[in-house]
Amino acid sequence: MATIYIDGRPYAVDARQNLLHACLSLGFNLPYFCWHPALGSVGACRQCAIKQFRGPEDQRGKLVMACMTAASEGARISIADAEAVAFRAGIIEGMMQNHPHDCPVCDEGGECHLQDMTVMTGHDYRRYRFAKRTFRNQYLGPLVHHEMNRCIQCYRCVRFYREYAGGRDFNVFGIRNLAYFGRYQDGVLESEFSGNLDEVCPTGVFTDATHKRHYTRKWDMQFAPSICPHCGVGCNLSPGERYGMLRRIVNRYHGGLNGYFLCDRGRYGYEFVNGDQRLRQPRLRLAGGPQSLPQKQAAELLGEWLADDRVIGIGSPRASLEANFALRAVVGARHFYAGVADAELALLRLALEILRRQPAAPLRSMESADAVLVLGEDVTNTAPRMALSLRQAVRQQPMQALEALKIPAWLDHAARELAQQRRGPFYIAAPAATRLDDIARELWRGAPEELARLGFAVAHALAPESPAVAGLAPEAAALAGRIAAALRSAQRPLVVSGLGCRSTELLQAAANIAAALRRLNKNNGRNSPKANSTAEARPDDSSSENDARLALAVPEANSLGLALLDPHPLSQALDAVRAGAATVIVLENDLYRRLPAGEMQSLASGLDRLIALDCIETPTTRQARLALPAAAWAEDDGTFINYEGRAQRYYAAYPPPGEMQASWRWLRDALAVAGREAGRWETLDDVLRALAAEFPDLAAAATAAPPESFRIHGEKVPRQPHRFSGRTAMSANLNVSEPAPPPDPDTPLAFSMEGAPTQPPAAILPFAWAPGWNSYQAWNKLQREIDGPLRGGNPGVRVWPAPSSGERYFRDVPPPPAARAGEWRAVPLYHIFGSEELSRLAPGISQLSPQPYLALSEADAARLGLGAGEALVLILESQRFTLPLVIRPDLAPGLAGVPAGLGPLQGLALPAWCRIERA
Amino acid sequence: MFGIARTIWDIFLHGFRRRVTRQYPEQPAYLPPRWRGRIILSRDPDGGERCVACYLCAIACPVDCIALQATEDSTGRRYPEFFRINFSRCIFCGYCEEACPTYAIQLTPDFEMSEYRRPNLVYEKEDLLIAGPGKYPGYNFWRVAGVSIGGKDKGEAENEAPPADLHQLLP
């Protein structure tokens, strides 16, 4: 800590930071543009000028840029100094010279950093009389809209896109006052994080193209604190609704997870909620055709059917913990089955077993890892936001040189200049190329078993107690040695794996490496690594998180939550049906994605009553005798457990419209009809209480967010900004008397603009706003200190206690995979846009999603004399699929790449041996 | 006593004064042009809808009686998909007119809006939109805005340079 004097008063600040960081942390309003808490300082915009004085006697002082000046002990500065104020006003005036007269039709208006800063500096009259510079826009794809006239040349976009997110197809062009930010020609932005440009841009150059189609100002939206449903990372979101329609998603800051950024799947996948694939009406299939039912009658029918004692339930990894638990209460523990393929359930159980011994690293602590091994996971496509964090990890080792040179880490371009192209150790072993390959020091390709063998070899090299790998190829052995050496010499090594390859051995290998690293750590007494300014422990991190050496990407938002409820394997559900179970309740799940189509057909045909609860229309709901419309995640409250075992509550942005209701309420209503005890549940808290009683392990999930009874000064937390407009006209065309705000019995939030005016706990903070700060930069005002956790701590709780000792090694090293003549090993290849069930229904995402294909390596295609695009037949057991060939030079020979979750290929049990024929 | 007599006398005198009672509605009232009465939406000099659906009137409205939804035509010109004013809530404060950056929303000297049924006071865009520019005949927002719309490309607005040529290297 250092003491600095701002306008004559002393303040204690973090000496490792710059003055802008210090001033904002202290709550001062100091305008800025080019600085970003995650991107550091470059001093490009000159907006944060302040006066610095040499000592108490110095009356003249000099103008300095706050973001470029260290908060050194005894520094005397003035924000209010007249000269500094005039300088800042002049800078804004210069920026506004060419800024178009667009605010009324600009999507950034009302949440524009440039607007806020212009108001803050007091510039209100344009004196410049000459022509404004103009630019032509570019088409940047279906997700990001470009309006280049508005640019103020702060360079944040290009710094984020190229330097932070590693994109290559976006840059700054032109010279002098004609700097142009875009692509070299029109085209879809390649980066999976391009949507962040919307939030990074301080004005409206980059805006959300999906939001533009149903545009609503920020002040007019009803927000909710939410969690992303599109992968297992559990990024915090702020979905906004108006007129009963989900309008857009923006990032909701989480100090330990997503920070300031989201991936494009999470940001743009929301549109499925508004789509026509929604299941909107309860539907009973009769001999004469489908019949719509009112909600009450449907629940009664379901309740009557529960009287049958041969009811089984199939849970879902994309439904909330509460919904899964309600289903379990309906059918009983004995008849509760996992809604995932058996192999995946086994993997999830293994992952749980590993994670109970090895703490998982949160995203933000991954950023400070200084040696990384990615084992078998295409992180960008399975847990996208994780890839962005991993990208920052390669900067750590080169940045260790900063300390000796006394360059602070926040001095971004000095730090990058020093690092040049040097990158820290980053190794990727995967079946095919991943989007992180460009930062990897070495790559290794192979079938999942080979990758696992490499992993076991690394673990053995780190800890001799870990089993050795017999018969490893010499190159692999050498690589394992190099990886082990890099991990051993690192301060904060990290191994990342996941369920992507669907390989048990791979997870075990990753666990062994992590265990070995933890052991090394302990032996070397490095439990608290020397904190340098870059890899420093965040105040919120518990020691176990600093100590985390492992991250396992899980497929879906609540995969771990489902596994924690102890479901039986799905194959046993099939057995139960064969043995006479006549009624099956499928919860928010499309079983065609979990089972081969043939098996699913036979299951459905052998059944009396297939009941499907879902928010979207799927092949399963179409086949169901009774299909019940569930609320989508943005209309529902619940808890997801993410890849690190963090339970996080998400809240409805608006009540479920029409006949839809939360899945647990459907089940509760049915239980009430059947006269069972769980039918008395009134609120979400009742479900959580019952859950905690049955699963003491999961009791922590109930504390992930404040209970419904939580109030601030006796009031609920408003979901709407206090300037929400149109209350007396929104529904006046239907009924001129204004309706009361919908009740919300489940949460401490209100569907209203009225309520507690103070900052609520982070878990129930719906959106970022602070007086004078209407843009996303308002997060600065809600954090304990800039870039740290929000006030009240990071949302969510880990559901299992931090493990104390985790050194147990898995001993089953897989044998090298034997090639089979005429057969290929089919492995899943993931796509950020397309592999996930819900997001691919969003129009913007579906436009970017690939068509089903079959990928072969260059060598294999050449050997068979096949050309790209040729129609091939993939034969997997008894199933045949005709697919076009895609030649992937990066695919390991002997493998056949099958896109995961796409079209007819979605239910395949992979990896598996397959045959390939010409069509 | 004197007071009563004085009052009677005064009243008597009033009988000879000019009448001030106006025979409304037979005799219409004069309302100055800046009278804040019934709200209308105007058109720009080219006949296009002036409203660009910026939502500023809605946020300025102290009784929240304006609701609208923005949409765009194929050329990028923004306009309200619907625009609704609930006149049974309107207090005719004129804040919406003050907030409007395009002179689209204007208050007119008309207050004769009595209805027997409240829903009849809910005006949609069809009821609000007039044929002309109202009080501000010359202004067209799109001629000063930087976005391009049908019939106005980049660099063609007032006070705008032609689009920059990024390939030139002149200093």
Domain boundary among A274, A292, A316: A274
HEC sequence for chain B = CHHHHHHHHHHHHHCCCCCCCCCCCCCCCCCCCCCCCCEEECECCCCCECCCCCCHHHHHCCCCCEEEEEEECCCCCEEEEEEEEECCCCCCCCHHHHHCCCCCEEECCCCCCCCCCHHHHEECHHHHECCCCCCCCCCCHHHCCCCCECCECCCCCCCEEEECCCCCCCC
Q: What is the DSSP string of A161-219?
A: IIIIS--SS-EEES-GGG-EEE-SSS-----TTTTHHHHHSSSTTEEEHHHHTT---GG
Which residues of chain A approach chain B closer than 8 Å at the C-beta? 100-105, 109-110, 130-137, 147, 149-150, 173-176, 178, 180, 212, 214-217, 219-220, 243, 723-730, 732-733, 736-737
Pick the closest to residue A257 from A360, A374, A382, A358 (CA basis).
Answer: A360
Q: What is the DSSP string of A588-604?
A: S--GGGTS-HHHHHHHH
Asked if the structure places residue B8 within a domain, the reply is no
For the domain that residue A531 is a member of, what is the CATH number?
3.40.228.10
Asked if the structure places residue B12 within a domain, the reply is no
Residue A816, pLDDT score: 87
Contacts with B146 from chain A: Cβ below 8 Å: 100-102, 132, 134, 147, 149-150
| Closest Cβ–Cβ partner in B55, B78, B166 for A174 | B166
Residue A545, pLDDT score: 59
Residues A65 and A128 in one domain: no
Contact B58 A220 (CB under 8 A): yes
Distance, in Å, from the CA atom of A852 to the CA atom of A872, rounded to the nearest integer, reads 12
Residues A126 and A261 in one domain: yes
Distance, in Å, from the CA atom of A431 to the CA atom of A829, rounded to the nearest integer, reads 9
8 A C-beta contact, residue A518 and residue A525:
no
Contacts with B159 from chain A: Cβ below 8 Å: 130-132
Q: What is the DSSP string of A769-838?
A: -BTTB-SGGGHHHHBSSTTSPBTT--S-EESSPPPS--------PPPPPPP-TT-EEEEEE--TTTSSTT
Which residues of chain B are modeled with pLDDT < 50? none
Residues A403 and A511 in one domain: yes
| Closest Cβ–Cβ partner in B55, B155, B164 for A217 | B55
Residues A473 and A542 in one domain: yes
Contacts with B67 from chain A: Cβ below 8 Å: 725-726, 729-730, 732
Distance, in Å, from the CA atom of A517 to the CA atom of A526, rounded to the nearest integer, reads 11
Residues A266 and A410 in one domain: no
Residue A163, pLDDT score: 94
Contact A732 B84 (CB under 8 A): yes
Distance, in Å, from the CA atom of A378 to the CA atom of A364, rounded to the nearest integer, reads 19
Are β-strands A854-857 and A895-899 bridged in parallel, bridged antiparallel, or unpaired?
Answer: antiparallel
Nearest-by-CA chain B residue for A133 = B161
Provide the domain limits for residue A508. Answer: 347-554
Residues A371 and A460 in one domain: yes
Residues A91 and A118 in one domain: no
Asked if the structure places residue A290 within a domain, the reply is no
The minimum CA-CA distance between A206 and chain B, rounded to whole Å, is 14
Instruction: Tell me how many domains chain B contains.
Output: 1
Residues A117 and A241 in one domain: yes
Distance, in Å, from the CA atom of A497 to the CA atom of A427, rounded to the nearest integer, reads 12
Asked if the structure places residue A743 within a domain, the reply is no
Instruction: Tell me how many domains chain A contains.
Output: 4
Return residues 16-55 of B near A (CB < 8 Å).
52-55
Residue A274 DSSP label: G
Distance, in Å, from the CA atom of A171 to the CA atom of A141, rounded to the nearest integer, reads 16
Distance, in Å, from the CA atom of A320 to the CA atom of A326, rounded to the nearest integer, reads 10
Provide the domain limits for residue B110. Answer: 34-142
Distance, in Å, from the CA atom of A558 to the CA atom of A319, rounded to the nearest integer, reads 7
For the domain that residue B121 is a member of, what is the CATH number?
3.30.70.3270
Residue A455, pLDDT score: 96
Contacts with A134 from chain B: Cβ below 8 Å: 146, 154-155, 160-164
| Closest Cβ–Cβ partner in A149, A215, A728 for B86 | A728
Asked if the structure places residue B170 within a domain, the reply is no
Residue A639, pLDDT score: 96
Domain boundary among A539, A554, A569: A554
Residue A525, pLDDT score: 58
The minimum CA-CA distance between A236 and chain B, rounded to whole Å, is 28
The minimum CA-CA distance between B47 and chain A, rounded to whole Å, is 19
| Closest Cβ–Cβ partner in A173, A217, A728 for B89 | A728
Pick the closest to residue A772 from A111, A197, A36, A124 (CA basis).
Answer: A111
| Closest Cβ–Cβ partner in B71, B124, B161 for A131 | B161
Contact B55 A736 (CB under 8 A): no
Which residue in A132, A725, A734, A769 has the most chain B C-beta atoms within 10 A of its own C-beta, making it the best mutation to test that interface? A725
Return residues 101-140 of B near A (CB < 8 Å).
101-102, 118-119, 121-122, 124
Contacts with A110 from chain B: Cβ below 8 Å: 55, 59
| Closest Cβ–Cβ partner in B59, B144, B157 for A219 | B59
Distance, in Å, from the CA atom of A70 to the CA atom of A648, rounded to the nearest integer, reads 37
Distance, in Å, from the CA atom of A143 to the CA atom of A187, rounded to the nearest integer, reads 11
Contact B159 A220 (CB under 8 A): no
Asked if the structure places residue A429 within a domain, the reply is yes
Q: Which residues of A871-909 are buried (b: 16+ CB within 10 A; e: fewer)?
A: ebebebeeeebebebbbbebbbbbbbbbbbbbeebbbbb
Distance, in Å, from the CA atom of A327 to the CA atom of A317, rounded to the nearest integer, reads 13
Which residue in A728, A733, A735 has the most chain B C-beta atoms within 10 A of its own C-beta, making it the best mutation to test that interface? A728
Distance, in Å, from the CA atom of A110 to the CA atom of B59, rounded to the nearest integer, reads 10
The minimum CA-CA distance between B93 and chain A, rounded to whole Å, is 16
Distance, in Å, from the CA atom of A294 to the CA atom of A669, rounded to the nearest integer, reads 13
Residues A84 and A154 in one domain: no
Residues A520 and A380 in one domain: yes
Are β-strands A609-614 and A583-587 bridged in parallel, bridged antiparallel, or unpaired?
Answer: parallel
Contact A102 B118 (CB under 8 A): no
Asked if the structure places residue A11 within a domain, the reply is yes
Residues A391 and A513 in one domain: yes
Asked if the structure places residue B18 within a domain, the reply is no
For residue A798 the two structure tokens come to: 């880990």
For residue B164, CA distances in Å to A86, A135, B147 come to: 31, 5, 15
8 A C-beta contact, residue A496 and residue A458:
no
- Chunk chain A into consecutive blocks of 10 residues (it has 919) and report each block's average pLDDT, rounded to whole numbers: 94 94 95 95 94 92 95 94 95 93 94 95 90 95 95 95 95 90 95 96 96 95 96 96 95 95 96 93 91 94 87 95 95 93 95 91 93 95 96 92 91 91 94 94 93 95 93 94 95 94 94 91 57 39 66 95 95 89 91 86 83 94 94 95 95 94 95 89 94 91 93 95 94 93 94 91 95 94 93 91 74 88 91 94 94 93 90 89 93 92 86 90
Distance, in Å, from the CA atom of A257 to the CA atom of A640, rounded to the nearest integer, reads 14
Residues 6+ apart with CB under 8 A from A763: A225, A648, A649, A704, A705, A706, A792, A795, A796
Residues 6+ apart with CB under 8 A from A426: A371, A372, A374, A390, A393, A394, A436, A439, A440, A441
Q: Is B91 on the interface with A (CB under 8 A)?
A: no
Q: Which residues of A594-628 are buried (b: 16+ CB within 10 A; e: fewer)?
A: bbbeebbeebbeebebbbbbbbbbbbbbebbbbbb
Residues A17 and A34 in one domain: yes
Provide the mean pLDDT of chain B.
Answer: 93
Nearest-by-CA chain A residue for B146 = A100
Which residue in B63, B147, B165, B168 has the most chain A C-beta atoms within 10 A of its own C-beta, making it the best mutation to test that interface? B147
Residue A430's Cβ-count burial label (10 Å; 0-12, 13-18, 19+) is: buried
Distance, in Å, from the CA atom of A62 to the CA atom of A640, rounded to the nearest integer, reads 52
For residue B110, CA distances in Å to A90, A570, B60, B104, B134 come to: 46, 71, 21, 17, 13
8 A C-beta contact, residue A562 and residue A316:
yes
Contact A215 B70 (CB under 8 A): yes
For the domain that residue A34 is a member of, what is the CATH number?
3.10.20.740
Pick the closest to residue A528 from A537, A515, A541 (CA basis).
Answer: A537
Cis peptide before B25, with omega less than 30 degrees from 0? yes
Domain boundary among A554, A582, A615: A554
User: Order of strands, edge to edge, in the sheet holding A2-6?
Assistant: A9-13, A2-6, A76-78, A49-53, A62-65
Asked if the structure places residue B165 within a domain, the reply is no
